[in-house]
Amino acid sequence: MKSSTLGIGLGLDAYSSKPSYKDKFCPLKAKEIIKEIVERQIGPEDKYQGRNNTNVNPFPLAIAEEVRAALKEGHANRYKIMVQVVVGEKLGQGVRMGSKCFWDEETDNAAWFSYSNDFMFCVVSVFASYLY
């Protein structure tokens, strides 16, 4: 058997600077996971009707932690998952959100999901950054 000087002591997959196609962060799959978690956490539409701020405060944190854990399971390789959750009461106002990121467009990606009912809105933003 012939040995190569380039492969001595290293496996073929010893180091990869970019994820394989099947390991890349998929925004469509992430959006489905986010949707399922948000709809389960919010529950029936009348669950938060007439509640004050103190009852809703732990709600965004619970969603963010669950979304991050679920996405980290699917992308346990070298992705850093960042989750931002915005929850607000619907009082006829408009809301605008924006974000800026510096990233590698070949490996990094993002997903968003918006939920709204008669009483409240919830916007979940997820950013996945590949760690080289």
Sheet holding 79-89, edge to edge: 79-89, 120-130, 109-116
d(CA 20, CA 107): 9
Instruction: Count the domains in the chain.
Output: 1
Looking up residue 45, the CATH number of its domain turns out to be 3.30.1140.40
CB-based contacts of 84: which residues, under 8 Å, 6+ apart? 64, 99, 124, 125, 126, 127
Task: Give the domain extent around 121.
Answer: 23-91+107-130
List per-residue pLDDT tens for the chain, 132 residues long.
444 444 455 455 556 788 888 888 999 999 999 999 999 988 766 555 555 555 667 789 999 999 999 999 877 678 999 999 998 888 888 888 888 878 888 999 999 999 988 888 899 999 999 988
Identify the helix (H) or strand (E) that includes residue 73: helix 58-74
